[in-house]
């Protein structure tokens, strides 16, 4: 099969970048959109010239081989399971799910059926992630001993018109943002061995200030919003992670890693590009640009690009796997490992002892530059 027919469920905020990007990748053809809210599907279908279906109609179509699940985290697992049950591959937005046992069953179900599951984020395969991986694998900064990760802001209610789900179980800064950072770290360092963490909640409610019908409404906060964690990796590296939506401003970088020969600053893993910085011994920082590499150029928003946003790369990787058996890096197993780590960060152990991580996966395969370029349709 040279081309996978692509369907999409969930025509909300993030769907535009997928609908824009899918046709730019090799072996993918958009064949339908749907949403539980028919007007949302109609609007995106009209804008991107894609047929509109109900969810059931879309799942019943023979010309759709893979379905992108862009629903809200609470229903990711149920929707992904429905997609697998009708014999189609799944690519889900993050997180894979909220319940670890159910997510594990789903990954097993896909394996049993010989279907692929991919789960965002795929940003770590962008130019910034690939160059960081190469510099570390080449030994430029030596063995990574430790590092820091900071994901801090004052939440999403100032820009997202319907931010309620961010403050429910399965939301919060860890489930929402840590998949980017954990995928990036596992790509660079291999899997996590155990987690220690303290979780707190800064504010009992939030007021929506984004424009829209919910502006001025209160949202109850039902999940911790500040976590201080220590991630111990199998490699021996110890990474401090601070994730919070209770912080108005800070001066920390997204990811800094400290090696035996020097330090490396990994670009923000929320995006696909950005400059990598390295420093050896007592020398100065050196900037390594990525804009000329595949998936490094600024491309989004379309009218005034200020970031590299190649979401859908993980779907192109599934198409390549189905076509030629190439490795899948943005995999269900990676997302399951990340989910287990996130649950450990948010819930911890009641007695404060480290939470051992059971899902041990190999470090994702390197994505060579030629292979990255070959994923594009042009």
Interface with ligand NAD (CB under 6 A): 9-14, 35-37, 40, 55, 70-73, 75, 79, 93-94, 162, 176
CB of 156 to ligand NAD, least distance (A): 8
CB closer to ligand NAD out of 73 and 332 = 73
Residues 252 and 203: their CA atoms lie apart, in Å, by 22
End-to-end CA distance of the chain: 19
Judge contact between 132 and 138, C-beta under 8 A: no
Cα angle 107, 181, 8; round to 5? 50
CB of 149 to ligand NAD, least distance (A): 18
- Of 311, 318, 323, the C-alpha closest to 125 is 311
Ramachandran category for residue 148: left, alpha or beta (phi over 0 → left; psi -120 to 50 → alpha): beta
For ligand NAD, give the closer residue by CB, 9 or 247: 9
Residue 12, SS3?
A: coil
What's 25's DSSP letter?
A: B
Q: Give the C-alpha separation, 21 to 18, whole Å.
A: 5
Closer residue to ligand NAD, CB minimum distance, 75 or 140: 75
Containing 259, the helix (H) or strand (E) segment is strand 255-259
CA–CA distance, 61 with 54 (Å, rounded to integer)? 11
Looking at the Cβ atoms of 65 and 93, the one nearer to ligand NAD is 93
C-beta closer to ligand NAD: residue 72 or 210 = 72
**Considering the complex, what minimum distance in angstroms separates the CB of residue 74 from ligand NAD?**
8
Least gap, CB of 61 to ligand NAD (angstroms): 15
Spatial neighbors of 66 by CB under 8 A, at least 6 apart, are: 4, 5, 6, 7, 28, 88, 89, 90, 91, 116, 315, 318, 319
Helix (H, G, I), strand (E, B) or coil at 85: helix
Closer to ligand NAD by Cβ: residue 80 or 197: 80
Q: State the nearest-atom distance from the C-beta of 272 to ligand NAD, in Å.
A: 13
CB 178 within 8 A of CB 338: yes
Nearer to ligand NAD, 37 or 368 (CB): 37
Q: Based on CB atoms, which residue is closest to ligand NAD, 77 or 107?
A: 77
The residue length of the chain stands at: 378
Q: Whose Cβ is closer to ligand NAD: residue 262's or residue 274's? A: 274
Peptide bond connecting 301 to the previous residue in cis, omega within 30 degrees of 0: yes
CB 317 within 8 A of CB 330: yes
Shortest distance, CB of residue 4 to ligand NAD, whole angstroms? 21
Asked if residue 92 lies in contact with residue 100, where contact means CB atoms within 8 angstroms, the answer is no
Residue 250 and residue 85: Cα distance in Å, rounded?
45
Q: How far is the CB of 69 from ligand NAD (least distance, A)?
A: 8
Residue nearest to ligand NAD (CB): 12
Cβ atoms of 167 and 219 within 8 Å: the answer is: yes
| CB distance 128 to 266 below 8 Å | yes
| Closer residue to ligand NAD, CB minimum distance, 179 or 262 | 179
Q: How far apart, in whole angstroms, are the C-alpha atoms of residue 149 and residue 239?
A: 7
């Amino acid at each position: 099969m040279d081309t996978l027919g692509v369907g999409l469920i969930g025509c909300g905020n993030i769907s535009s970048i997928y609908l824009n990007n899918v046709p730019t990748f090799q072996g993918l053809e958009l064949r339908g959109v749907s949403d539980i809210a028919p007007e949302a599907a109609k609007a995106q279908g009209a804008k991107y010239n894609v047929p509109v279906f109900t969810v059931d109609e879309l799942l019943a179509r023979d010309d759709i081989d893979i379905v992108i699940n862009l629903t809200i985290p609470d229903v990711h697992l149920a929707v992904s399971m429905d997609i697998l049950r009708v014999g189609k591959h799944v690519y889900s937005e993050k997180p894979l799910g909220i319940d670890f046992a159910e997510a594990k069953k789903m990954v097993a179900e896909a394996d049993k059926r010989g279907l692929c599951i991919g789960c965002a984020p795929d940003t770590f395969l962008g130019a910034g992630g690939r160059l960081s991986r190469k510099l570390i694998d080449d030994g430029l900064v030596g063995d990574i001993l430790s590092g820091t990760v900071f994901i801090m802001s004052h939440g999403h209610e100032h820009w997202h018109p319907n931010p309620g789900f961010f403050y429910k179980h399965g939301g919060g800064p860890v489930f929402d943002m840590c998949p980017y950072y954990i995928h990036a770290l596992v790509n660079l360092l291999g899997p996590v061995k155990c987690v220690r963490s303290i979780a707190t909640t800064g504010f009992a409610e939030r007021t929506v200030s984004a424009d829209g019908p919910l502006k001025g409404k209160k949202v109850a906060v039902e999940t911790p919003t500040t976590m201080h964690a220590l991630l111990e990796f199998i490699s021996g590296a110890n990474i401090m992670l601070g994730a919070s939506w209770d912080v108005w401003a800070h001066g920390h970088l997204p990811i800094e890693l400290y090696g035996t020969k020097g330090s490396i600053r990994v670009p923000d893993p929320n995006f696909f590009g950005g400059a990598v910085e390295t420093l050896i011994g007592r020398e100065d920082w050196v900037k390594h640009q990525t804009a000329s590499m595949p998936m490094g150029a600024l491309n989004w928003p379309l009218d005034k690009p200020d970031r590299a946003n190649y979401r859908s790369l993980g779907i192109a990787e599934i198409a390549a796997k189905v076509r030629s058996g190439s490795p899948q890096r943005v995999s269900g197993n990676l997302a399951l490992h990340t989910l287990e780590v996130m649950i450990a960060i948010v819930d911890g152990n009641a007695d404060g002892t480290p939470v051992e991580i059971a899902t041990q996966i190999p470090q994702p395969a390197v994505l060579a530059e030629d292979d990255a370029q070959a994923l594009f349709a042009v």
